[in-house]
Structure 1
Amino acid sequence: MKTTILIAAIFFSGLTFAQEKKQDTLKTKSIEGVTLTKQVFKKQSDRFVYDVAASPGAKGNTTFDLLKQTPLLSTTDDKTLKIVGKNNALIYINGRKTNMDAESLTQFLKNTPAENIQKIEVITVPGSEYQVESSDGIINIILKKKMSDGTSGNMRMSNTQNKYNANSASFSVNYRKDKLGINANLSGGENINPQTYILRNGTDKMQNESVGDIDDPNKNLGGYLNIDYQLTEKSNLALSWNSWANKSYNSTIDLYNTLIQPDKDGVMTTKHTWTKNKEDSRNYNNSVNLNYEIKLDSLGSKFNANAAYLNYKRFQFSNNNTLVYDNQNEITTGKTITQNIPQIINNFSGMVDYIQKFKNDFTFSVGGNFNKTKTDNDTQNYNYLFVNEQGEHIPNVQPDPDFNHFIYDENIYGAYLTLEKKFSDKFSGKVGARYEITNSLGTADSPTHEIESQRHQRIERNYNNLLPYLSFNYAINDKNNVSYSFSSRMRRPSFWELNPVRNYITDFNYTQNNPFVKASSTYNQELTYMYKNSYFLILNHSYMKDQITQVPLQGYVKSVDGKIGDQNVLRYIRTNFGDKQEMSAMLGIQKSLFKQYLTLNFNAGVQHNINNGTLAQDPTTGDTFVDKEGNPLIYRNNIKSTSLVITSNNTIRLDKKKTWFLGVNYFYVDKQQIELGMLKNLMSLDLSIKKNWNDWTFAVNLNDVLRTNVVEIEDYQANGNYNYIKNDMYRRSVNVSITYNFGNQKVKKVRDIESASDAIKNRTR
C-alpha cells in the first residue's frame, strides 16, 4: 500500500511539472487560449493563506468540509482538525476565536455553509499577540467583505446515515443599512454517536476483556447574533452574543466483561459480568462580548478594547451498573454507582490592543488581557449493592456515599509586545514576547473521604511565564520563498481536567481527572520553503515539557496506609507525563491543472516522535499499583517511532459550466507511539459528488468508503502489563445535503471581533 501511494505521489508531481511546462508554451497562443487565475495558496509572513474565493468547487460545501480540503489541514476522527498532521488546531473567525466546546464547535462547522468565506489562514506558529492557549496552531477563517446595503442569507439541510440516521439544518441572515450591520445564525441537529469497543488489559497471570457498544444520542441547538454600528468614520461599536445548547439523554454503555485470574489456591477461574450504564447530560454555553475599535490614521493604526462575560453549565447524571453472573449464567448480585456531576463556569474578561503603523513599514503592537474565572464542581457519588437484574437493593444496607465539592478560582494577567519590520520587498521580520502571571486556588471538600488528610485540600499555584517569539520571511525571488519561526507557548489544563471526578467505564475500569495538573510548556521551531506558491517543504520541531495527557495505571491498588486490594484495577489518569518531542518533514503540492478541471492538494511526509515519561502513583489519591506478590508496577513510555503521513484532497470539475464536481479525498497515517501505547495505522477514502444549480447546491458525500478508519491502540510493558483498545466510531457514512442562497449577495459582513474571553472558552472543551 505504501509503495502504491508513493508511486502515485511521484506521478502527480511529474504530471504537475509537465502541465506547467505545457502551460508555458501556451503563452505564445492567442489571448483566447489564456486563462487568468489568482494564486490560491501562498505564504505571507507568519501564516499560510488559502484563497477560497479563487478556488473552484467551494460553493455548497460546509465550513468543516472546506477546512478538510485546505492545504496543511487534516482530520482523522472527523471532529478535530490538525495542522501538518500534529496537534489539534484552534478555530478563529476574522481573528476571533470560536466560543464553543469541541463537540458543539464540530456541529457548528458542519452546519455552516462555506459560500461566504473569502480565505483561510493557517498559522502554524502563533505570535505573541495571541493568548497562550494558542500553542497548537490557529486556523483563521476570513469572511467575505461586501459593501452593498441589503439582506442576504442561506439555508442548509442535511441527512447522514451510518449506524444510525442523523439530520441537521441551519439558517443564516445578514442585514446592512448605512452604519448598522446585523448578522445572525441559527443551527441545530439530532444524531446518535455510536461506538463499538474492545478493551483488554491484564498481566501474564490474569486477563480482563470488555466487549460492547456505546450509544450517545445528541440534540443540538445554537446560534449567534452580531450587531456592528459605525459611530464615526473611524470608530465602531460591536456587540456579540453566542449561545449553544446540547442535550444527551439516555446515553448508554453496554459491555460484556470476562475476567480470568487465579483463585487463592492458584486455580484459574473465569468470572463474567455485564456493565450497563446510562447517562443523562446537558450543557449550555452563553457568552456576550462588547468591542470598541477606533482607527488612528490612514496607515492602519488602531486601538481595540473588549469586555466579555462567559457562562458555561454542564449537568451530568449517570447510573453505572455491574451485574455478576454465576456458573449457570444467571445474575446473582450486582453493584450500582450513581454519579451527579455538575460543572458551572463563570468568567469575566478584558483585553486591549494598540497597533501603531509607521510609513517606513514598521509596526509596533502592545496589549494586555485579564481573565477572572471561577468553576464550581459539586460531585456526588453513591454506591449500592443489589441482588437481581431489576436492581432491587439488599435490605437494610445503606448506600456508600462519596461527596466532593471542588471550587477552582483563577486570575490571569497578561501583556505582550511585538515589533514587525518590512526591511525590503524581499525581507521582513517580527519579534515579540508575552508575559503572563497566573494565580490559582483549588479547594476540594470531601467530607466522606476515608483518609483525614484528603478530606479538605487546598491547592494553590502561582507562576509567571515569559514567552518569546521570532520569525522572518525572505522572498529570494518571485518564485522562491523561505521563512523561519520560533515560538515559546504554554498550555493550561482545561477546567474539566482539574475536576477530581471518576467517569466509570466498568466497575474496575475508569478515567480519573486530576486537580494537581499544572501548565505544560511548548517550544516550536519551523523552517518553510515554497516554490511558485504551489510547492512547499516544511521542517518542524516541537518540544513539550510536562505534557498533559491521559496515562493508564493498572494492577492491585496499594493505598497510602499500606493496604492492598484484591481486584486488578485499570485507571486512565489525567496528569503531567514527562516530556515529548515531535519532528516532521512535509512535502506538499497545491495546484490547479488542465484549466482548473483538476485541483490537486497533496501532502506527504514523515513524523518522528520521542516519548519520555514514567508514572508510578495516582497523584489524586497517592495510591500505587503492585502485582499479586506486592511488587511495584510502573507505567513507562520511552519508545521512539517514525511514521508516514499522507493526505490527498482532489477536486475534479466535470463540465465547462462549473456546475458538476467530483471530490476524491484520502489520508493515511502510519502507526506511531502515543502516550497510551502504539496507535496502529489509520486511513480513509472519501468520495463526493456536487451539483450547483442557480442558487441551489446538491451534494452527496461518501465517507470512509473502505471502513478503515478504526482506532487500535496496543501497549506492552516490561513488567508484564498489557493494554489494548479497539474503537470503531462508524465513520463510514452517507451524507446528503441541500443548500440555498437568497437575497442580495453583495451584503457587507458584520465586523467580527476577538472576544476577551476566547482563551477561557477553549478550556471548557
Structure 2
Amino acid sequence: MKCIILSMAIIFGTCTFAQEKKSDTAKTKNIEGVVITKQVFKKQSDRFVYDVAASPVAKGNTTFDLLKQTPLLSSTDDKTLKITGKNNALIYINGRKTNMDAESLVQFLKNTPAENIQKIEVITVPGSEYQVESSDGIINIVLKKKMSDGLNGNMRFSNTQSKYNASQASFSANYRKGKLGISANLNGGENIQAQRYVLRNGTSDTSNESVGDIDDPNKNLGGYLNIDYQLNDNSNLALSWNTWANKSYNSTVSLFNTITSGNKTNYSWSKNKEDARSYNNSLNLNYELKTDSLGSKLNVNAAYLNYKRFQFTDNRTYASNVNGDIKKMTTQVFQDLPQVINNFSGMVDYIQKFKNDLTISVGGNYNKTKTDNDSKNITYFFDPVKDPDSKPNHFIYDENIYGFYVTAEKKFSDKFSGKIGTRYEITNSLGTSDNAPTDDLKRIERNYNNLLPYLSFNYAINDKNNISYSFSSRMRRPSFWEINPVKNILTDYNYTQNNPFVKASSTYNQELTYMYKSSYFLILSHSYFKDAITQVPLQGYPVAPDGSVGANPVLRYIRTNFGDKQEMSAMVGIQKSFFKQYWTTNFNIGVQHNINNGSLDTDPTTGDRFKNKEGEFIVYTNKTNSTSILIQTNNTIRLDKKKTWFLGVNYFFINKQQIELGSLKSLMSLDLSIKKTWNDWTFAVNLNDILRTNIVKIEDYQENGNYNYIHQNQYPRNIMVSLTYNFGNQKVKKVRDIEGASDSIKSRTR
C-alpha cells in the first residue's frame, strides 16, 4: 500500500527537518566495516569532514546507524537521511555516486556492516559538477585504503521486533589479486510495515473520519557485483551490476469510515488488498584515465537501467452501522497499475590540475528515459454493475536531458580558496495518453533550459577559526510516478491523484559557516523554492467543468506545483570527546523559520473545482509562517578499559512547524543501545523510540471552515538484536567504486 498511503507519507518528503523518497531520494552502495581510534570533525573547502577511523560508534553497527550518528546528519523516519535538518542526502562512495534506487538503498544500508570507513564527508551545498536536484546535499563515504591482496568479507544477521517481527541478513566478499578486483554482496530480509491511521476532514457542516490499519508485508532480495581491472598504471576499466527485487503481496487496508452531512450519518468499511512486486537492474561500464602526475584524469561512463513494478489492487467498500458490523458490498474497484522504466545514460568528466593550485573541471551527461504506464481501472456498483466511465489509460512518457558543466577551483593561499562554476541543462519531454479524461492530458510536451550557477569560498582565519560561504541554484524534476495520471484509492471519497502537468521547480540555496577548533560550528542557511512540488488536499463537493456537481464531498490529495516557500535556519553544534574518549558526543541545536505561500482552487488533472454545502467555491491556501527548534544529540559511552563494551544514547526533538499539509506537531525520539565486541564478533541490542513519541500528527484549519487532520503511527518503537562477523584478510584493497551514468535518474523511480 505504498502508493495508497502516499498522501500521508508525503509528510516525510515535505518536512524541512531531518528524516524519507523519494523518494524520493538518498542512495548508497557497498560499504564494509570500521575500526575507530580517533575523531576529527573539520571544515575543508566545500565540505565537512568527519574522521571516524577510531570511533566506537562504527564497529558492529550498520552503515545506516553510523550515518545517523554523524554530525549534521539525522533521520526521523528511520528511512531517509537529512543534512542540517532539512536537505535531502545523496550517498557517494569515494567520490562516486552510488548505483542503487532509493528503496533498495535503505535496505542495503541497514543490512550492511560499516567496517572499512575512514571518514565521512558532508557536502551541504554541492558544486556544479554534481548531478543533484533541488536542495539535495551529498554524503561521501571514504573507505580505508587496503595494502595487500587476498580475500575478506563480513556476515551480519539481525532481528527486529515492533508490532511485527522482521529479519535481515547480508553477506559481503572482497577479493583482489594483482590488477583484478572483484566485490560482491548479497542481502535480503522480510518485514511487515504496519501503520495505524486516524484521518479526519470536512467543513463546518460535513465531516469524514476514517480509522484503521494498513499492513504491508515485504520480502527483499538484492545485491551487486563489481569487477575492476587495472589496464596499466594510468587507466582502469570497471563493470558494475546492481540488482534488487521486492515482493509485497497481500498488503491490506482496513478503515472504518464515518460520514456526516447535516443530521445524516453513514457508516462504511474500506477493505483494500494489494499485490505488488518490483525489480530494479542496472549495468554500468566505466573507464578512467590518469593524464598526468598532478591528478588530472578523464572519466567516461555508459549505463543502462531497467525498472519494473507490477501493482494490482482490489478496493472494496461495505455498508456498515455504528457498531462496525460489515454488511453488503456497495462498491468494488479493480486497479492494475504497472510501470516500466528504461534509461540509457552517458557521462564524460575531465579534471585538469595545474601546478599553481588551479583545477578546471568540464563535463557533460546525457539521459534518455522512457516510462510506460498501462493503467486499468474498473469500477462496479452494487449488483454489480460496471461503471460505464471505467476506462484504461496507457500513459507513455519520453524524456531527454542534456547537461554540461564547468568549474574552476583555486587555492590562492594557505588561508583562502574559492570555487566558481555553472551547469547548463536542457530538458525535452513528451507525455502521451491514449485514453485521457480530457484533451489536454492526451499530449503534454515540455521543453526548457536552465542555467545553474555556483559559488563558494573558504577562509582560514587562523589555525582555530574558519569561515566559508556557498551559493548554488538547482532544479527539481518530478519523479516518474508523480506524472503518471492515476489515482490511488484509500476510501470511496479519499484518494491520491498524480499529475502529468507537474513542472520542474527551481531552488536557490546559500549557506554561511563558521567553525572553531574543528569541534564547534555555526551554520546559517537560506533556501528559496519556486513552484515547489508537493501534495495538496482539495475537498468539498466537486464541480466538473460542465457544471455538474458531485453528490458527496470528497478529499483528493493532488500532486502539483504549490506556490513558493522559503526555509531559513541557524544551527550551532559540537563534536568532541571527553574523559580520555570514554564519552564521545555530537550535539546540534537550531532554529528554523518556514515561509509558505501557496493556494489552489482547481484540480489540475480534471478541471474540477470544489464547493461547500452553501454553494461557495473553496480555495485551499497555505500562507502561514512558522518557527521551530531542532535538537539532536548522539552519545557513545565506553564502559570498560579494554574497549569492548559501549552504551549509546541518542535523542532528537523538533517542535511543531508549518508544512504544506498544515501544522505538524512536535516529534521526539529517544534511542538506547548496548554493544559488546570480542575478536571478530560484535553483538548489539538497540532500543528505538522507547518513549513512543515519534508519531506524526498534522492539523490544518482553513478560513473557509474546511479542516484536515492526520494521525499516523508507523510503530517506530522497536528492539533490534544483531550479530556481525568479519573474516579474512582485513588489508584487502577495496574494489574501485564507480558512479553510474544513470544514477541521477534512479532517484526519480519509486
Tell me if TM exceeds 0.5.
yes
Alignment partner of 1:286 is 2:281: yes
Q: Note the C-alpha offset of 1:133.
A: 2.5
2:271 is aligned, of 263, 271, 276, to 276
Q: Note the C-alpha offset of 1:165.
A: 0.2
The farther-off stretch of 373-382 and 84-93 is 84-93
CA contact (8 A) 1:126 1:134 kept: no
1:494 aligns with: 479
1:584-621 residue CA offsets vs partner (Å, 9 max, x unmatched): 00000000111110001000010000000001111111
Letter in 2 for 1:411: N
Q: Note the C-alpha offset of 1:99.
A: 3.5
Alignment partner of 1:308 is 2:303: yes
CA contact (8 A) 1:379 1:403 kept: yes
1:260 aligns with: 260
Specify the SS of the correspondent of 2:55: coil
1:439 aligns with: 428
May I ask how many residue pairs the two structures share in their alignment?
Answer: 714
1:63-98 residue CA offsets vs partner (Å, 9 max, x unmatched): 000000000011111101111111321222223323
Letter in 2 for 1:301: S
The separation in 1 between residues aligned to 2:60 and 2:377, in whole angstroms, is 48
CA contact (8 A) 1:356 1:363 kept: yes
The separation in 2 between residues aligned to 1:39 and 1:651, in whole angstroms, is 12
Alignment partner of 1:550 is 2:545: no
Letter in 2 for 1:436: E
Task: Give identity over the alignment, percent.
Answer: 77
1:360 aligns with: 356
1:212 aligns with: 212
1:318 aligns with: 313
The separation in 2 between residues aligned to 1:572 and 1:482, in whole angstroms, is 43
Letter in 2 for 1:136: D
2:237 aligns with: 237
CA contact (8 A) 1:164 1:192 kept: yes
CA contact (8 A) 1:94 1:752 kept: yes
CA contact (8 A) 2:667 2:696 kept: yes
2:23 aligns with: none
1:127 aligns with: 127
1:716 is aligned, of 683, 687, 701, to 701
Specify the SS of the correspondent of 1:331: coil
The separation in 2 between residues aligned to 1:232 and 1:95, in whole angstroms, is 22
Q: Note the C-alpha offset of 1:562.
A: 0.6
2:28 aligns with: none
Q: Note the C-alpha offset of 1:398.
A: 6.8
The separation in 2 between residues aligned to 1:191 and 1:372, in whole angstroms, is 35
2:3 aligns with: none
The farther-off stretch of 85-94 and 234-243 is 85-94
CA contact (8 A) 1:325 1:333 kept: no
Matches within 5 A, 1:385-534: 385-386=381-382, 393-394=383-384, 401-446=390-435, 449=437, 453=439, 457-534=442-519
The separation in 2 between residues aligned to 1:514 and 1:284, in whole angstroms, is 24
The separation in 2 between residues aligned to 1:618 and 1:662, in whole angstroms, is 52
1:446-498 residue CA offsets vs partner (Å, 9 max, x unmatched): 16x4x5x35x6110000000000000000011100000000001111100101
Letter in 2 for 1:721: N
Letter in 2 for 1:284: Y
Letter in 2 for 1:443: T
Gaps of 5+ in 2: 1-35
CA contact (8 A) 1:649 1:663 kept: yes
Letter in 1 for 2:71: P
1:564 is aligned, of 549, 560, 579, to 549
1:604 aligns with: 589
1:728 aligns with: 713
2:672 is aligned, of 687, 708, 715, to 687
Specify the SS of the correspondent of 1:89: strand
CA contact (8 A) 1:382 1:399 kept: no
The separation in 2 between residues aligned to 1:108 and 1:722, in whole angstroms, is 40
The separation in 1 between residues aligned to 2:57 and 2:493, in whole angstroms, is 51
Letter in 2 for 1:463: Y
Letter in 2 for 1:599: T
Alignment partner of 1:171 is 2:167: no
Gaps of 5+ in 1: 1-35, 263-267, 387-392
Alignment partner of 1:348 is 2:337: no
1:642 aligns with: 627
Specify the SS of the correspondent of 1:497: coil
The separation in 1 between residues aligned to 2:326 and 2:594, in whole angstroms, is 48
The separation in 2 between residues aligned to 1:37 and 1:132, in whole angstroms, is 33
Q: Note the C-alpha offset of 1:100.
A: 3.3
The separation in 1 between residues aligned to 2:210 and 2:541, in whole angstroms, is 19
CA contact (8 A) 1:62 1:110 kept: yes
Q: Note the C-alpha offset of 1:135.
A: 3.4
Alignment partner of 1:673 is 2:658: yes
The separation in 2 between residues aligned to 1:152 and 1:102, in whole angstroms, is 27
2:600 aligns with: 615
Letter in 2 for 1:379: S
Q: Note the C-alpha offset of 1:632.
A: 0.7
CA contact (8 A) 1:94 1:141 kept: yes
Specify the SS of the correspondent of 1:106: helix
Greater C-alpha radius of gyration: 1
Letter in 2 for 1:256: F
TM-score normalised by the chain length of structure 1: 0.92
2:30 aligns with: none
CA 1:327–1:482: 2 relative to 1, 3 Å: closer
What is the Cα-based RMSD across aligned positions, in Å? 1.4
Letter in 2 for 1:118: Q
The separation in 2 between residues aligned to 1:726 and 1:44, in whole angstroms, is 42
Letter in 1 for 2:347: M
Q: Note the C-alpha offset of 1:331.
A: 1.5
CA 1:518–1:275: 2 relative to 1, 3 Å: same
The separation in 1 between residues aligned to 2:124 and 2:255, in whole angstroms, is 41
